[in-house]
Structure 1
Amino acid sequence: MRLRPARATARITALFALVAALVSPLPQAVADPVAAERPVAAEPPDLCGSQCADILPPGENGSATLAEILAHRVLGTRPAHSSDQLGPYDALAAGQSSLTDEKLTDFFNDASFGVPADQVESVTRPRPDVTITRDRKTGVPHIQGTTREGTEFGAGYAAGQDRLWIIDLFRHIGRGQLTPFAGGAEANQGLEQEFWPQAPYTEKDLQDQIDRITASGERGRQAMADARAYLDGLNAYREQAKRNRVFPGEYVLTGHVDAITNIGEIEPFKLTDLISLTSVVGGLFGNGGGGEVRSALSLLAAQQKYGPAEGAKVWESFRMRNDPEAALTVHDGKRFPYAGKPDQARGTALPDPGSVTPEPLVHDRRGAAAKPAKDPVATTPRLKPLQGIHDNGVLPEGAFAEPRGMSNALLVSGEHTASGNPVAVFGPQTGYFAPQLLMLQELQGPGISARGASFAGIGMYVQLGRGQDYAWSATSAAQDITDTYAVELCEPDGSAATRDSTYYRREGACEPMEKLEQHNAWKPSLADSTAAGSYRMRVYRTAYGIVTHRATVGGEPVAYTSLRSTYRHEADSIVGFQLLNDPGYVKDAASFQRATQHIGYAFNWFYADARQAAYYNSGLNPVRAEGVDPSLPVRAERRYEWRDFDPGPNTSAYTPPEQHPRSVGQDYYISWNNKQALDYASAGFGNGSVHRGDLLDDRVAKLVERGGVTRASLTRAMADAAVADLRGEDVLPELLKVIRSGGPITDPQLMTAVQQLETWRDAGTRRRETSQGSRTYTHPEAVRIMDAWWPLLVKAQFEPGLGTELYDALRANLTVDESPSAGHGPTGAHAGSSFQFGWWSYVDKDLRQVLGEPVKGPLARTYCGGGDLAACRDTLLSTLKQAAARPATEVYPGDADCDPGDQWCAAAIIHRPVGGLTHDKINWQNRPTYQQVVEFPAHR
């Protein structure tokens, strides 16, 4: 438990004693049960035969009363089922080497439908047509309704039981209203400033999206009816919890409800809140592309360094949008051209050098919101890691990583498995939070039959999980569905425009930008030392999206805007999830692919039943005008718009399903946010010869070659990759080859470092404990050296040749390192997800060029040692010597959770609190947060 200042601890202890004396909450699971007997519902068929398993740490119960929160702070106790999935999840890192099918349940939950009679922990009947049964082991709600409306009501009721606070928190984040709700801590300000500019909606905007879904057809009407029933259940629990004093204690800690009198309100939930919630989830995990202004700045830096033609060639080689050495999900040779480099670019709008400034977001800071003159901040989306709500119920510094793709999937088709049935190990990596953003549930009712995970607050359907005889999961795809336009600025009176103008030219007319503002004010809450404050957030919206930067192009003032295809369509994907939960719709791989075609966000979808494994890439991929380069800003003119673009509802022509990467029955599939298929251009920089997807691909390919794949062997492959150091496995061999290419190493300390790295390489370069709970790696010195060496060697390898300006511009597009202990990386410290973003491909290709080895898609120039092998070797040795000399206290400087020099702790996963509970640290492992292991032996 994190230590608190003595005064805060005293206040908490006193409050705990008072609350414990005055409050005697009713058991949450049986609050206000309906007395009427429920009709008997038919048991749904379950064809998995106890061969479906899943896990979601830390635990299902994400709700704690004030008394429970204070008891946790003072006594270290936790409510039941709030942390019981953390231990098994953590243990797999050490236990995977001896894993068998029979031992899978040591590390995963049985994901069969229903609850055996001897395993029932509680039964709740919030209304006559639905029953919520929870099991003893995990407390997961199994919701069975005799009517569809009752089923959805039960889903909402259970969501309130398990995630009421986090649902409320996230609807305020999506609306940019977190500080008035949870307090004005600096990190709360940062969080609403990061999300709101990506989806700044008026109430009318939110309602319009609901109306469009309702009017879209029978499935859309059913989805909104399901959503209303879900909200009815959520609100029913909200009212009961408030009345019976079993509501989450964070409402007291943030000043919304008085602990003694129970005076205060938990605001009712409404349909528009679901749109707001969905925009947060979609923004985190389902968006792709963007960043064209940063991309343009790096291109300009390359052209300034090398000249226009050579600079473009150099930049393109670092861009790696279609690298021939990239790991592929569809690896059977099929091509799916999309968002590639045009032969002759048209409409590109590069800024004049030095003219780009970010658009101000925050204005009129007062009190606790006051900042130095360098503010207001910009709307450039960079989301920081969530640290959690502590004593006062507010979020400490940062809350999320940038919207990045995570998650992984491993599937093997039946001809290569021991049983002859496909095997899948897959799940989303949504970060580690307490409580989780996801919650587990089983839904059984008319037209719905599924068990799995759903995002809290939008759990009308299981979003990732299993049906009666099939299972599905997703990884973030991040293909390019976001573009940047340069809108020409103007003044309505005909005077000369400036970069600050708020009018823009569209089809010859000078139109006003739409100004959207959010005024936030807050006051201190219980145990909150932050003073009262306020500020105003403001963005400008155009027909081409949200203004993010101002610049000049050819001397003329422009605003750069960001337009994503899913803007104004945050909840349209609900129909796709409805279909995935419908056993009458999904019956095979083909119907699964048709269901996921209704999902507009950029995801890779995977499917397994007893006969087939399959894959489909979803997303509203806009059809761009001929010649437009999607990697760079384009002029906001009709001839360069998305084809059939209508700015009102933000619709356009989209690529048809057959042009999306898709496959049925490939020998195996892997995905770890790697490239989907040949010619399907990567949205970001550096997706080349070394990617964390290779860690899966290499292992699964060997299993398939050997044959007889089982659930256990595929899980072992995943778990082994989860503790592998990508740099060590795929780049260290080239580094050592260069080092060993010259004469003997005479420096004893340097020779020791080289030998330690070689020993680690020969052992497989794992970052694994010597034994479960030892908190010591098997090769601690080699790991320390690699962690210290990588940023030094990248800088020394590339900066001399690129020059500082270009090197820095490229680093703005792609971070150099994302090791488990790199707190500066895109996902922040203690986040689990690692090695997605880094200069691994650049280093690998450059070293192979220096060594004279064949390289497909090489960098345009050779950088290490200026292309001279001996000079490159000297560079590596000099940086290695610096790294070896750095003590652990410098490599791992410590933070609020770890002492300086604690290597294990620096990389350890910490569930970041978004409520009043905290959880124990666990060993670093790079794997999905929610994960399924499935093998269906039978099919309907």
Structure 2
Amino acid sequence: MNGGHTVIVRDKPFGVPHIYGDSDLAVEWGAGYAAAEDRLFLIDVLRHAARAQLSSFAGGSAGNRAMDRTQWGIAPYNESDLQKQIDLAPTVYGALGAQIVARGTAFVNGINAYINAAMLNPTLMPAEYAAFGTTPQQWNLTDVIAEASLIGGIFGKGGGNELHSAQFLQALEKRFGVRHGKRVWSDFRSKNDPEAPTTVLGHRFPYETASAFSKRGLALPDPGSLRFTPVAPPVSTSSASAASAQSLRVNVPNDGSIGSGLLRALANPHASNWELVSARHSRTGHPIGVLGPQVGYYDPEILMEEDLHGPHFDARRGTFPGVNLMVQLGHGRDYSWSATTATSDNVDTFAEVLCQDAFHYMWRGHCRAMEKLVRNNSWTPSVGSQVGPGSETLTAYRTVHGIVYARGTVHHKKVAFVSARTTYFHEADSAIGLYRLNDPTFMHGPQSFRQAANGINFGFNWSYIDPKHIAYQLSGWFPKRALGTSPDFPVLGTGPYDWQGYDPNLHTMKTMSMNARPHAVDPSYLVSWNNKQAPGWYGPIFRSQMIEDRVKHAIRGGRKMGLEQLVSAMDEPASQDLEAWSLMPILRRALGRPADRRLRSAISLLSRWAAAGAHRRDLNRNGVDEDTRAITLMDAWWPRLVAAEFQHAIGSTAYRDLFGILPPASVLPGDSPTAPDYDDGWWGYVSKDLRDMFSPGHVRGKFSHHYCGRGSQRRCRAALRQSLLRALGVTAKQLYGKGRCQSHPNPACFDQNDWVTASGITLDPFPLQNRPTFQQTVELTKGAP
């Protein structure tokens, strides 16, 4: 069953499984067995969540049902769809595809071997099964494919905002006229902002070069015609995080369920970072690195550690249980690698022109029927879930391009808007590149690393370090769009505007080559915190600058950097407030010297906090941040500041639409307690607009308009001052007095990191850390023999 001889040794300090096999299949069997031994209930949760069946498995809580809806909207697969991906592997990849199927089968056999043992020996069975009134069922290779769709859907995709962008454009054109409306839209799109911090310095990688407003195949919805079509009506709950009806943010029920925790991960998947310094700038003459993924905090953790050794395995560290066929983030004999989520655009929207009825569409001259995909869920109460019995049906419709998520009209013709993801029906293809990263016979330096990353179809920023080199490669299937079509708005799905080389049977298309995607080998340093990859590939402010600025300072003037300095460069920003850190100098200038003593005192308070590093932390562990007064004021002021600067300038409708695409911050008033992430926000908008008005000689890529005060310094200053005065009247209870912080409303409580509980043990939240879940600190001095 395991294709050879397998030995699993657990070390005493941490119980890490060290797996040895005399064949690759034997290693895989051991990896499957270890996953089940360490995380059986969790991987069962994940395979059910991946199939949009979490409510059937873990109870009908609002969070579980909302997670089912989200997953069925992203990756609705029936069993034959999952099996098709297995069957296609040899067709698409030849002998390599057949080898991956064989390895996956051995891995599943290992999981089932543990399940069989646990069914005979109750002491091996996780107690959670009894709490939920169920037992583990045998695994199939389709379970692995399903879980891969869940992990990739959270961490490995980007884009898909075309309809919301269209709504925003139309609101701006209504307010400013067509010509000026497009300019304003381009300002906020910030597509190629020359001030944006990038991982690759000094080298351009042009992508999405066609005009956003290209008319070829353009399919903007007629104003007022658009309606979104979820797979089921929204879950009714009175305890959900605030989110606009038009927002792309995930509306997360706060019921403590497994589903609500997974939804939080979907909403904020972007806190991984890595930073590398080259040998010539290192104190020892060898490259140094601090690398880590942020996948959230789970109980048990959604990452497990494994150590694999076999003919084509020699790697150790982090991997997702249930798809841990290989180490996914870790190190080999003499090299390490890691990744951050790229969020580069691999999701587009096609407008299918309807024919016959609402469920038929035109493609390449033929009227085709949509596929109807149905998921039936039902649940009963258990010790683990007290929700009463119930059932529901989720329904999605699929075309040759993807999943229907909205309907409307284009030029008065009825259409269905479809989300098309390049990796749909290719959820496990990344195994090719990940196996290469584990293989000592393949990995021989930066170029082989780049080739390995090139075999990963999900969008990630991959880093590499060995005793001599550092390197970076963006992975992912980024489609070559039809020539002259907009990369920012929906295009017609009638056929002529499909992705180049699109094959609906194999679900393949032409994609950007490895060399066309951002990459670098041995620059002075590399930093990624989910920021923009390269010139030509976000706005002028991003959290990566908090790390990059420290690295640049440490190596300036020929100085050398030590590993402990690089650790500190990562660690310090983990508690810093990006708004105060990046914006207080220009905000202070814009506010001027007010006569009102309350304003002078407020500006002084915020300025002192920013000058001290703008940290949100409780150093003496008394439950209160050291700068609570300043933090509370900034939290109250920020949403009022951005409204004062932009809402009147662009109009309430456009402001609401932009808010839906990109909220001003990751945590907003009305949200429930959760750690701020600083991955997306309006810091760049505020900075560029105010600098252009109050410090105009220091702005590259200026906006087409001045927004604050509609271009008047006097009106802008008055609006900003008034917004700060209003913030002074906001109480801590109004800001933070929800959920667990109701009785002690303060930012230290509100910002805490929460655990996603997928076990019978609950853990208390812990103080804010905006940093990876685990990290490698790396300095290798010699290569393997």
For the superposition of Structure 1 and Structure 2, which TM-score range results when normalised by the shorter chain?
over 0.9
Matched, 1:870 2:746: no
Determine the structure 2 residue equivalent to 1:316.
186
Residue 561 of structure 1, CA deviation? 0.5
Determine the structure 2 residue equivalent to 1:751.
600
Q: 2:693 aligns with which of 850, 854, 872?
A: 850
Determine the structure 1 residue equivalent to 2:568.
716
Q: 2:556 aligns with which of 697, 705, 708?
A: 705
Matched, 1:305 2:175: yes
Determine the structure 2 residue equivalent to 1:409.
274
* TM-score normalised over the length of structure 1: 0.79
Residue 897 of structure 1, CA deviation? 5.8
Amino acid at match of 1:233: G
Amino acid at match of 1:465: G
2-structure distance, mates of 1:139, 1:397: 26
Matched, 1:599 2:456: yes
The 5 A counterparts of 1:670-681 are: 670-680=527-537
Deviations 1:601-657 (A, max 9, x none): 111110000010000001111111111111100011322111111112211111221
The 5 A counterparts of 1:212-231 are: 212-215=88-91, 216-231=93-108
Deviations 1:8-35 (A, max 9, x none): xxxxxxxxxxxxxxxxxxxxxxxxxx9x
Determine the structure 1 residue equivalent to 2:582.
730
Q: 1:184 aligns with which of 60, 76, 92?
A: 60
Q: 2:541 aligns with which of 690, 696, 700?
A: 690
Determine the structure 2 residue equivalent to 1:44.
none
Corresponding residue SS for 1:559: strand
Determine the structure 2 residue equivalent to 1:788.
636
Determine the structure 2 residue equivalent to 1:459.
324
Amino acid at match of 2:595: T
1-structure distance, mates of 2:476, 2:693: 40
Amino acid at match of 2:163: V
Determine the structure 2 residue equivalent to 1:573.
430
**C-alpha distance 153-675 of structure 1, shift in aligned 2 (>3 A):** same
Deviations 1:304-328 (A, max 9, x none): 1111111011101101111111001
Give unmatched runs, 5+ long, in structure 1: 1-33, 35-125, 257-264, 372-376, 492-496, 681-686
**C-alpha distance 383-803 of structure 1, shift in aligned 2 (>3 A):** closer
Determine the structure 2 residue equivalent to 1:937.
781
Corresponding residue SS for 1:452: strand
Residue 396 of structure 1, CA deviation? 7.7
Residue 133 of structure 1, CA deviation? 2.3
Residue 130 of structure 1, CA deviation? 2.5
Checking the alignment, whether the CA contact within 8 Å between 2:63 and 2:255 is kept in structure 1 is no
1-structure distance, mates of 2:152, 2:270: 11
Residue 147 of structure 1, CA deviation? 3.0
2-structure distance, mates of 1:209, 1:833: 38
Checking the alignment, whether the CA contact within 8 Å between 1:467 and 1:583 is kept in structure 2 is yes
2-structure distance, mates of 1:387, 1:167: 23
The 5 A counterparts of 1:432-831 are: 432-491=297-356, 501-526=358-383, 528-680=385-537, 687-705=538-556, 707-740=559-592, 742=593, 745-771=594-620, 773-819=621-667, 824=671, 829-830=673-674
Amino acid at match of 2:64: N
**C-alpha distance 378-723 of structure 1, shift in aligned 2 (>3 A):** closer
Amino acid at match of 2:125: F
Checking the alignment, whether the CA contact within 8 Å between 2:249 and 2:660 is kept in structure 1 is no
Amino acid at match of 2:727: A
**C-alpha distance 893-555 of structure 1, shift in aligned 2 (>3 A):** same
Checking the alignment, whether the CA contact within 8 Å between 1:386 and 1:912 is kept in structure 2 is no
Checking the alignment, whether the CA contact within 8 Å between 1:846 and 1:863 is kept in structure 2 is yes
2-structure distance, mates of 1:243, 1:626: 61
Q: 2:159 aligns with which of 260, 275, 289?
A: 289
Deviations 1:485-509 (A, max 9, x none): 1111110xxxxx5xxx111111222
2-structure distance, mates of 1:233, 1:527: 28
Determine the structure 2 residue equivalent to 1:890.
734
Checking the alignment, whether the CA contact within 8 Å between 2:172 and 2:181 is kept in structure 1 is yes
Q: 2:677 aligns with which of 834, 846, 861?
A: 834
Checking the alignment, whether the CA contact within 8 Å between 1:668 and 1:704 is kept in structure 2 is no
Determine the structure 2 residue equivalent to 1:91.
none
Matched, 1:327 2:191: no
Matched, 1:349 2:219: yes
Checking the alignment, whether the CA contact within 8 Å between 1:429 and 1:833 is kept in structure 2 is no
Determine the structure 1 residue equivalent to 2:294.
429
Determine the structure 1 residue equivalent to 2:128.
250
Q: 1:273 aligns with which of 121, 140, 143?
A: 143
Q: Give the RMSD, CA atoms, in angstroms.
A: 2.4
Matched, 1:134 2:4: no
Determine the structure 2 residue equivalent to 1:859.
703
Corresponding residue SS for 1:607: strand
**C-alpha distance 650-127 of structure 1, shift in aligned 2 (>3 A):** closer
Determine the structure 2 residue equivalent to 1:76.
none
Deviations 1:728-757 (A, max 9, x none): 1111111111122x4xx3333322211111
**C-alpha distance 615-381 of structure 1, shift in aligned 2 (>3 A):** same
Identity %: 37
Residue 426 of structure 1, CA deviation? 1.2
1-structure distance, mates of 2:47, 2:564: 40
- Larger mean CA deviation between 641-650 and 699-708 belongs to 699-708
1-structure distance, mates of 2:246, 2:612: 46
1-structure distance, mates of 2:670, 2:88: 42
Deviations 1:102-144 (A, max 9, x none): xxxxxxxxxxxxxxxxxxxxxxxx9993332223332222222
2-structure distance, mates of 1:238, 1:721: 44
Give unmatched runs, 5+ long, in structure 2: 239-243
Deviations 1:232-269 (A, max 9, x none): 1111111212321131122111111xxxxxxxx31001
Residue 461 of structure 1, CA deviation? 0.2
* Equivalent residue pairs, number: 775
Residue 286 of structure 1, CA deviation? 0.3
Determine the structure 2 residue equivalent to 1:175.
51
Which of the two has higher C-alpha Rg?
Answer: 1
Residue 161 of structure 1, CA deviation? 1.4
Amino acid at match of 1:139: G
1-structure distance, mates of 2:513, 2:108: 34
Residue 382 of structure 1, CA deviation? 5.1
The 5 A counterparts of 1:366-405 are: 383-384=250-251, 398=263, 400-402=265-267, 404-405=269-270
Residue 159 of structure 1, CA deviation? 0.7
2-structure distance, mates of 1:243, 1:419: 55
2-structure distance, mates of 1:413, 1:527: 51
Corresponding residue SS for 1:474: strand
Corresponding residue SS for 1:922: coil
2-structure distance, mates of 1:340, 1:328: 21
Determine the structure 1 residue equivalent to 2:241.
none
Deviations 1:852-882 (A, max 9, x none): 4232222221121222222222222211122
2-structure distance, mates of 1:403, 1:553: 33
Q: 1:881 aligns with which of 722, 725, 734?
A: 725
Amino acid at match of 2:99: Q
**C-alpha distance 396-223 of structure 1, shift in aligned 2 (>3 A):** closer
1-structure distance, mates of 2:253, 2:21: 36
**C-alpha distance 174-555 of structure 1, shift in aligned 2 (>3 A):** same
* TM-score normalised over the length of structure 2: 0.94
1-structure distance, mates of 2:81, 2:401: 16
Amino acid at match of 2:115: R
Checking the alignment, whether the CA contact within 8 Å between 2:213 and 2:486 is kept in structure 1 is no
Corresponding residue SS for 1:639: coil
Determine the structure 2 residue equivalent to 1:13.
none
